[in-house]
Chains A and B, each alone.
Chain A
């Protein structure tokens, strides 16, 4: 048959993908980001991810057993594993182990299995688990490790595990602080600023600090003050990790696993809206650049919002879905109380998804058919 003749008849499933294959590809694309996170923040994230993997897969298997279902799908479809990796990447690296376990169990059992298991859940399990922990324990959930060069040498697996499992954690913290104090990059930094670094290696994130400057003080001054000194490493870490997520996301789009419209619509609308805020009052709001790089913006756009279960599936609905999340995201970030708004806006967007699906029309079968939109 010649190439310009395309037959469209009853819906043909052209792809040979299975849930397990899709999930495994998704996890593989996250590996660069995991390596970059370990490089800049030490081994905390890896250990936290291991904890979430064990508790997510364990609780899913346990729950399926209680429901008298087959347990084999836990390994075959890898959905619990994906939730675990996504959750592990978003949690603070040195979070106490029991909080990681509680978040994972909530994500799998309450958010996913209670609604009926894979494909039935209304909300993204990883983000719901994250929000559950953020509301429950605001302090540990906003204490992130500061980016530092050679972090993988300073926060070694042993020290990270000591802090996470609270065994000899004081000694581990002391050792980390000592290593930080003697790190050779300190020589490149102005003497007055060294004490700032030696103070400690964890703290609230850039977004939280900026939020607290607002509205009494000037966010612009705060950003300029932070920009000159060691925060450079923080910025570098953020840019590299966001780049890793972007790379992985583009790979997923090329492999036709996620819908490119959702991240594009989300990133586009949020850039425009944050720019509008920024140009209206630059002393009150962060620039679009900061909003895109800091926090989980890129990660959320490619990996969280495109979750096939909780997102919309129609192309026309995808644009609206991304836009709705972007509007919520910008409102919560700029005007709300929680600094990183991705998790909340995604959950609210999930709640809107069924309505958006109903209110957008699907292309009638056979109508306006072009070879390009064969999958629409």
Chain B
């Protein structure tokens, strides 16, 4: 049980990270990550939708006919997104105005339907909800990382506009590195998103290769010692 939960989180956060490995949901990943606050806002919304939709789909998975399952998934996901959207409109109105369209576009985010089809339709309610949470968290971390890098390079700040997300306390979270007129504008523009994502994927692959090489060489060493003995 604990092993399976560990596995779910390891896959969602690193091995099968939806943002860096599966490269799903590129539209929001590239479009709203111009600042860390926007990225975090969309990320939290995605976590909520993923967890709840995975939970619901797993709960009704025995009642579904295979022929119509995708339609049911979409209906469930759309209802959850609508709830999240209404909540955001009520509690974080400014952030909702900034993200606007992308909140409702979570419906079409392929991560959610992918998790529903791959995981929630085959696993128990608890695991499905955890899987949704882990994948949402992995996606959010990637969003936050890209948003942070783009914000720092592009306008020299980090966590600007957090008050839209967490209220008054957020305005003190803003960190200024250098004045905005020295920023490289390209980081905020669409090419900056593609370049940053590419770099992140490269860094992840580099780390994987290094870890992988180390593990295999250790294994090989162990094997050779056994043979020698």
Contacts and interface: CB of A to CB of B under 8 A. Distances in A.
Contacts of A114: 202
A136 B184 contact: yes
B186 A135 contact: yes
Interface string B166-188: 00000000000000000011110
A137 B153 CA distance: 12
Interface residues of A, number: 8
A136 B185 CA distance: 4
Contacts, number: 15
Contacts of B202: 114
Interface string A23-34: 000000000000
Contacts of A135: 185-186, 189, 191
Contacts of A137: 184-185
A102 interface: yes
A132 B195 CA distance: 11
Contacts of A136: 184-187
A114 B201 CA distance: 13
A138 B185 CA distance: 9
Interface residues of B, number: 8
A133 to B, nearest CB: 8
Contacts of B191: 135
The B interface is mostly helix, strand or loop, or mixed, namely helix
The A interface is mostly helix, strand or loop, or mixed, namely helix
A115 to B, nearest CB: 11
B140 to A, nearest CB: 27
Contacts of B187: 136
Interface in B171-229: 184-187, 189, 191, 195, 202
Nearest to A99: B184
Nearest to B198: A114
Tell which of B184, B185, B191, B195 has the most Cβ of chain A within 10 Å.
B184
Nearest to B191: A135
A102 B195 contact: no
A121 B210 CA distance: 26
A138 B202 CA distance: 29
A135 B188 CA distance: 11
A110 interface: yes
Nearest to B184: A136
Contacts of B185: 135-138
A144 B186 CA distance: 21
Contacts of A138: 185
Nearest to A134: B186
B199 to A, nearest CB: 9
Interface string A93-120: 0000000001000000010001000000
Interface in A131-176: 132, 135-138
A198 B195 CA distance: 43
Contacts of B195: 110
Nearest to A102: B184
Nearest to A110: B195
Interface string B75-116: 000000000000000000000000000000000000000000
A124 B189 CA distance: 21
Contacts of B186: 132, 135-136
Contacts of B184: 102, 136-137
Tell which of B186, B187, B189 has the most Cβ of chain A within 10 Å.
B186
A135 B191 CA distance: 10
Nearest to A135: B186
A114 B194 CA distance: 14
A135 B192 CA distance: 11
Tell which of A110, A132, A136 has the most Cβ of chain B within 10 Å.
A136
Interface in A271-324: none
Interface of B: 184-187, 189, 191, 195, 202
5 contacts: A102-B184, A114-B202, A132-B186, A136-B185, A136-B186
Given A135-B189, A135-B191, 8 more contacts: A102-B184, A110-B195, A132-B186, A135-B185, A136-B184, A136-B185, A137-B184, A137-B185
Interface of A: 102, 110, 114, 132, 135-138
Nearest 3 pairs between A and B by C-beta? Answer: A136-B184, A136-B186, A135-B186
